[in-house]
Amino acid sequence: MTAHRHNADNAINNLLHTITSFNTSSFNKCWRALLQPQRLLIAALMILSSLAMSAQAATVSVSNYPLFLLSEAVTKGAPSAEQILDPSEVGHHGSISPGDIKAIQDSKFVVWFGASLEHNLATSLDKAPNAISLYAFDAFNRHPLRDVQGVPIAGTLDPHIWLDPENAKAITRALAVIHSHANPQYKKLYHANAKKFAERMDAAVASIQQQSAQNSILRKHPYWAYHDAYQYLERATQLQFAGSLSVDEDIAPKASQLRWVNENRPSKTMCIVTQSEPAKGLLAKLRPVNSTVQSEDMSNSKDFVNGWQMMAQQIRQCIS
């Protein structure tokens, strides 16, 4: 784990050096121009422009809300990152505005998960020189997508990696490195905050697992999902996936899938986790069933750890 983390930190540092080297080279060219009196005015204007751009470039932007919450944990006590996508807009659908594109261009670094999650940012960020895709680093636990019956789909990635507590801690460590390159005056603060976050995350997981240990009757906690978005919660919370209703939250379930989940229910009374309030008619077809609404992008939370813990607790309460 330590070597894994060390390699990821080195990779991030190398990438940041490559990104920032262009700005240093540009400034040096402006300085050499000062040595030629006939270009004094032009050079002065160029340096002022460069300094203005550098002031803007000190901004770090992050793509979506869960990443913003993790960044907020790192930057507590210092200026926040800019958030590109609105809460509840993880990046699956929609498009970005001209203002979003300008924010990307004005940022020193833009941190995003990657195209497999944030489709609407791919055109702007895939080749942007200041963009950092977290999926590009070999630093996180990863799982494949699963079909509606829970069978892993080879060659795929379930993109909701932030819901794994170990991944959340790894992301904050990466963000501490990135923010430190953008604003080195806060380096000690960023890394201290990342350490505090890890401690809080570990305490939240321990609390959930302690509750599970006290429940000797139910060792595993089977649940259904409308759309399979909670896989990265399962290990830490001892949840057991028993199938989903649809491959996408915006697609209605097929009658054949409703029949399958009913015929293969591991518990008489099941819990279904949905991203939005389920229709009463749908719940009637799954009875006896409890339901809980949980947004995987944590858009109802102001703090990542509190939001994660609340999500885990409410799903467990739904099951029990």
- CATH number of the domain that residue 236 is part of: 3.40.50.1980
Which of 74-83, 211-220, 301-310 is the least confident region?
211-220
Please give the span between the terminal C-alpha atoms of the chain, in angstroms, as a whole number.
34
Question: 150: helix, coil or strand?
Answer: coil
Whether residue 117 sits in one domain with residue 59: yes
- Number of domains the chain is built from: 2
Binned at pLDDT 50, 70 and 90, residue 23 comes out as: very low
Contacts for 233 with CB less than 8 Å, ≥ 6 apart: 163, 164, 239, 311, 312, 315
Residue 196 has pLDDT above 50, yes or no: yes
* Same domain, residue pair 76 and 149: yes
> Same structural domain for residues 163 and 229?
no
Question: Strand 131-133 vs strand 82-83: parallel, antiparallel, or unpaired?
Answer: unpaired
For residue 64, the enclosing domain spans 2-203
Q: Give residue 46's pLDDT.
A: 43
Interval 173-200 mean pLDDT: 97
146 and 291 co-located in one domain: no
Same domain, 10 and 153: yes
Between 310 and 95, the higher pLDDT residue: 310
Q: Tell me what pLDDT residue 211 has.
A: 77
User: Is residue 278 situated within a structural domain?
Assistant: yes
pTM: 0.84
Query: 159-162, long-range: CB within 8 Å, 24+ apart, which pairs?
Result: 159/113, 159/114, 159/116, 159/117, 159/135, 160/117, 160/229, 160/230, 160/231, 160/232, 160/296, 161/113, 161/134, 161/135, 161/232, 162/66, 162/67, 162/70, 162/232
Q: What is the mean pLDDT of the chain?
A: 85
Check whether residue 171 and residue 77 sit in a common domain: yes
The pLDDT of 252-274, averaged and rounded, is 97
Do both 118 and 256 map to the same domain?
no
Residue 89, helix vs strand vs coil: coil
**Mean local confidence (pLDDT), 64-92:** 90
Looking at the predicted structure, is the pLDDT value of residue 202 above 70? yes
pLDDT in tens, 139-185: 899 999 999 999 999 999 999 999 999 999 999 999 999 999 999 99
Q: Are residues 173 and 263 in the same domain?
A: no
**What is the mean predicted confidence (pLDDT) over 285-311?**
96
The pLDDT of residue 320: 81
209 in a structural domain? no
Confidence at residue 281, expressed as pLDDT on a 0 to 100 scale: 97
Instruction: Name the β-bridge partners of 209.
Output: none
**Phi, psi at 85, each rounded to 5°:** -90, 150
Q: How far is CA 265 from CA 142, 146, 187, 279, in A?
A: 27, 17, 51, 20
Q: Is 173 part of a structural domain of the chain?
A: yes
264 and 223 in one domain? yes
Percent of residues, the chain, with pLDDT higher than 70: 78
Question: Is 208 part of any domain?
Answer: no
Position 43 in a domain: yes
pLDDT level of residue 8 (50, 70, 90 thresholds) = low
Rounded to the nearest 5°, which phi and psi values hold at 239?
Answer: -85, 155
Residues 27 and 168 in one domain: yes
Which of 203, 230, 245 is at the close of a domain? 203
Task: Identify whether 113 is part of a domain.
Answer: yes
**Residue 280 pLDDT > 90:** yes
Q: Judge whether residue 20 has pLDDT over 60.
A: no
The amino acid at residue 108 is K
**In-domain check, residue 211:** no
Residue 315 lies in a domain: yes
Last residue of a domain, one of 179, 203, 227: 203
Last residue of a domain, one of 203, 234, 254: 203
Residues 252 and 197 in one domain: no
- With cut-offs at 50, 70 and 90, classify the pLDDT of residue 28: very low
Whether residues 139 and 226 fall in one domain:
no
